[in-house]
A = this chain, B = another copy of it.
Amino acid sequence: MSIKIGLLGFGTVASGIPFLLHENSSKILDASRDQLEIAKVLVKDEEEKERLLAAGNNFNFVTNIDDILQDESIAIVVELMGRIEPARTFITKALEAGKHVVSANKDLIATHGKDLIALAQDKGLAFYYEAAVAGGIPILRTLANSLTSDKVTRILGVLNGTSNFMMTKMVDEGWTYEAALAEAQALGYAESDPTNDVEGIDAAYKAVILSQFGFGMAIDFEQVSHQGISSITPDDVAVAQQLGYVIKLVGSVEETASGIFAEVSPTFLPKSHPLASVNDVMNAVFVESIGIGESMYYGPGAGQKPTATSVVADIIRIARRIKDGNVGKPFNEFSRETKIADPADVTSNYYFAINTSDEKGKMLRLAEIFNSEDISFEQVLQQKANGTTARVVIITHELSKTQLANVTEKLTAVSDFELLNTFKVLGE
């Protein structure tokens, strides 16, 4: 007897699944203890079905979700449609119909995961989604299984391949944001509306899921602040390099005394930091913990085969657990009361780029403003003035989000200074 699978969607990732099942059949069979069989594939309409059949795809394509939901021989539903609807409704119905579910849908899991996880648990069903964070990198299962013995204190991740590709062009080759975006779009890495990738929204979805696995806390997507890469200028990139840093879009989740804090923001990484050499479309998750100390998990964050590999690993795990009679366990069992950090407890070094008129006393005035918020400087760089304006770059010592908000308010309130950019700086 084989384990029958119903696929929802037959896009790029989905079509990587038959590749793996074929190319790696004996290992997968040994691990699953049973043949995995794609019994039905849901597609949008008759037109898509005809197109796929004509292209030589030899599957039982269906256009009505009920054909899968009502098929009692199908044990596992694999959702690879993306976006919120109809994925949410279909997964809900699949769970209600007693089917285990695998998904790679980070948007959905980050925004409606709680309900789906609760429903799966209630029904004694598996709901796995390794592919939802960092595609091919097996980070969720590693956090859930191997880091059970450890206490994670901070997770830093290069979690979005598109923006990392763009940042690599901007850092290594000095491209502007606009040129990098155009190239990413030309290569198919960025969509015509690139907002989710470049504004840190996609990475914020992943930060929500990492918070659950790394810290046992279910924060809401709205609680993850996100700042994108569109405001980064070649000047910022150049000064970062000069000071020994590389700028990347980093998702971070950390636990402070009062709770956890998650955000996505452009971050100055010291060149020697392992995340600093994660380039192009690659992703990496850097974990700081009391036991291991520092560990990093690196790989492709997207793509057909990497994502399909994570999906099939989830399917195998479900197949094994069905055999073992313990299939109902949640993907992530680590759960604590969710506490959000007090902004006063969230600290980092920061980079400030400020324009000021090139007049006597401006530097003193600037120092006074920072001093009034008890912020001290680690490095200051006044760049050559053009006669009328001077550009001042400051790397601060540690300051809190409260101090950051206060000093930002003061800087923008006075007409002497134009605050160009503020980015987090990771200490050595």
> Which A residues are closer than 8 A to B by beta carbons?
16, 20, 23-24, 27-28, 30-31, 130, 136-138, 141-142, 145-151, 216, 272, 274, 277, 279, 289-300, 303, 305-306, 308-313, 315-317, 324, 326, 333-335
Residues on the B chain within 8 Å of A315, using CB: 149
Give 17 new A-B contacts, CB below 8 A, not counting A137-B295, A148-B316.
A20-B150, A23-B151, A27-B151, A31-B149, A31-B333, A136-B293, A138-B142, A138-B146, A146-B313, A149-B309, A150-B313, A274-B298, A293-B299, A293-B303, A295-B298, A296-B297, A324-B324
| Interface contact B292-A299, CB-CB below 8 Å | yes
- A290–chain B nearest beta-carbon distance, Å: 6
Residues on the B chain within 8 Å of A295, using CB: 136-138, 297-300
Residues on the B chain within 8 Å of A151, using CB: 23-24, 27
| Interface contact B297-A309, CB-CB below 8 Å | no
| Interface contact B277-A306, CB-CB below 8 Å | no
- A15–chain B nearest beta-carbon distance, Å: 13
- A142–chain B nearest beta-carbon distance, Å: 6
Given A136-B292, A295-B137, A295-B298: A148 touches B306 (CB 8 Å cut-off): no
| Interface contact B150-A24, CB-CB below 8 Å | yes
| Interface contact A313-B145, CB-CB below 8 Å | yes
| Interface contact B23-A290, CB-CB below 8 Å | yes
- A135–chain B nearest beta-carbon distance, Å: 8
Name A137's closest neighbour in chain B (CB-CB): B295
Q: Which 10 A-B pairs have the closest CB atoms?
A: A138-B146, A291-B309, A295-B299, A149-B312, A136-B292, A296-B298, A31-B148, A149-B313, A24-B151, A292-B306
Cα of A27 to Cα of B277 in the assembled complex, Å: 33
Residues on the B chain within 8 Å of A136, using CB: 291-293, 295
| Interface contact B292-A309, CB-CB below 8 Å | yes
- A301–chain B nearest beta-carbon distance, Å: 11
Given A305-B291, A309-B149, A313-B147: A297 touches B300 (CB 8 Å cut-off): no
